[in-house]
Amino acid sequence: MKKVIYLLFVLLGSSLAGMAQRPPVISSPDVHPDHRVTFRYFSRNAKKVTLNGEFLAAPVAMTRDTAGIWSVTVPAVKPDVYPYSFSVDSVQIADPNNTYIFANERFKRSIVDVPGDQPLIHSLQKVPHGKISYRYYPSATLGRTRNVLIYTPPGFDPNGKTKYPVLYLIHGGSDTEETWTKVGRAHWIADNLIAQGKAKPMVIVMPYGNVRPSPMADFTKDLVNDIIPFVEANYPVHKDSKNRAVAGFSVGGGQTLNIGLTNPDKFAYVCSYAPYTATEEFAKNFTNWSPNAEQMNKQLKLFTISVGTDDFLYEPVKQNIAMFQSKKLNLTPIIVPGGHTWMNCKLYLAQTLPQLFK
């Protein structure tokens, strides 16, 4: 009996639960040293399997071998971290053999990390590592206990004399509080920039920005009235605006503008990445807005808006940049190649972290 079970598991790999449905163990993705990548998927029944990935201009067909393993090897990919998925007879799926999932509420994609010949700024390097803590805070605004991820830098001592500045870092519209670490590698970017002396050691707070079905404006209240007090009660951090930054991507980039520019007494650093601003809250805050530019420019030590020229929001972002500049605010646009992607997100973060708290 034991021998039979043992053999069965050797055949199936060492997986157990739900094993009746389990395909053979195959390796996918295989990233080759020359940056080509092989993707594999097992199905005896599928009629068509294609690979979709943000490193591809268009989906590519996978081909089936006699054992039912579909595969494709793509030519050398520019080193980065990319989302991808398979379409199996037009059903979109994450790669079953890849542990790493794009943290998201509305789709399930996998991620593949193509390392550079030299370590990239977002890669795990041999430097001192900070840690990410998964915490719960009571949100009086939203009437529930909510998640928040908190990065503390290497050498962080919760009871030491060193006080840290804080970056509040917000994900995109259907992302989660884990997307900035699981996909955006914010913790490794911070580890590496701190090790290089390019960024100041800081605490990075990654909240869950989606408050559906409540109005998005409630997230501004949640951050200001619930998250900041929780962080300041539990971490040795500076409590003045010059040691507080807010940044975010896409919907989170819009939230960043709403949160930062309506609270310039609280945030001296406002970095918005490819902001999505077609929201009621943004219209309410910034239509017919008449800021005291002189005062705000004194309060804001840094105000950036980043966007890629291939971003489908490039035009509206440019319009918003022009709008803020017409109000005489000291806004630094950061225009780079690339689209509305998490590859660009990592770049935006790596470009702005060194400018914070200087």
Residues 293-352 that bind a copy of itself (CB under 8 A): 313, 315-316, 319, 340-342
CB of 176 to a copy of itself, least distance (A): 6
Chosen residue from 74, 77, 81, 94 binding a copy of itself by CB under 8 A: 94
CB of 173 to a copy of itself, least distance (A): 4
DSSP state, 226?
Answer: I
Task: Report residue 189 as tokens.
Answer: 């970017």
Q: Is 181 helix (H, G, I), strand (E, B) or coil?
A: helix
Q: How far is CA 242 from CA 222, 274, 298, in A?
A: 21, 24, 11
- Candidate ranges 63-71, 154-162, 225-233, 349-357; the one touching a copy of itself (CB under 8 A): 154-162
The verdict on 11 binding a copy of itself (CB under 8 A) reads no
CB of 157 to a copy of itself, least distance (A): 7
Q: How far, in Å, CA of 181 to CA of 150, rounded? A: 10
The residue among 2 and 358 lying less far from a copy of itself, judged by its C-beta, is 2
Query: Number of residues in contact with a copy of itself, rule: CB under 8 A?
Result: 71
Q: How far, in Å, CA of 87 to CA of 78, rounded? A: 23
The verdict on 108 binding a copy of itself (CB under 8 A) reads yes
The verdict on 142 binding a copy of itself (CB under 8 A) reads no
Chosen residue from 79, 153, 173, 248 binding a copy of itself by CB under 8 A: 173
Interhelix angle for 186-195 vs 342-352, to 10°? 30
Q: Is 296 helix (H, G, I), strand (E, B) or coil?
A: helix
Residues 195-224 close enough to bind a copy of itself by CB under 8 A: 210, 212
Q: Is 88 helix (H, G, I), strand (E, B) or coil?
A: strand
CB of 219 to a copy of itself, least distance (A): 12
The residue among 13 and 201 lying less far from a copy of itself, judged by its C-beta, is 13
The verdict on 17 binding a copy of itself (CB under 8 A) reads yes
Contacts of 91 (CB under 8 A, 6+ apart): none
Question: Do 179 and 147 form a contact (C-beta atoms < 8 A)?
Answer: no
User: For the chain, how long is the longest CA-to-CA vector?
Assistant: 81
The verdict on 117 binding a copy of itself (CB under 8 A) reads no
Q: How far, in Å, CA of 240 to CA of 232, rounded? A: 11
Q: How far, in Å, CA of 320 to CA of 306, rounded? A: 11
The residue among 204 and 268 lying less far from a copy of itself, judged by its C-beta, is 204
Contacts of 201 (CB under 8 A, 6+ apart): 153, 154, 155, 156, 162, 164, 194
Here's the x/- map for a copy of itself, 223-252, by CB under 8 A: it reads as: ---------------------------xx-
- Candidate ranges 9-17, 115-123, 240-248, 326-334; the one touching a copy of itself (CB under 8 A): 9-17
The verdict on 78 binding a copy of itself (CB under 8 A) reads no
The verdict on 287 binding a copy of itself (CB under 8 A) reads no
User: Quick one: which H or E segment has residue 190?
Assistant: helix 186-195
CB of 96 to a copy of itself, least distance (A): 6
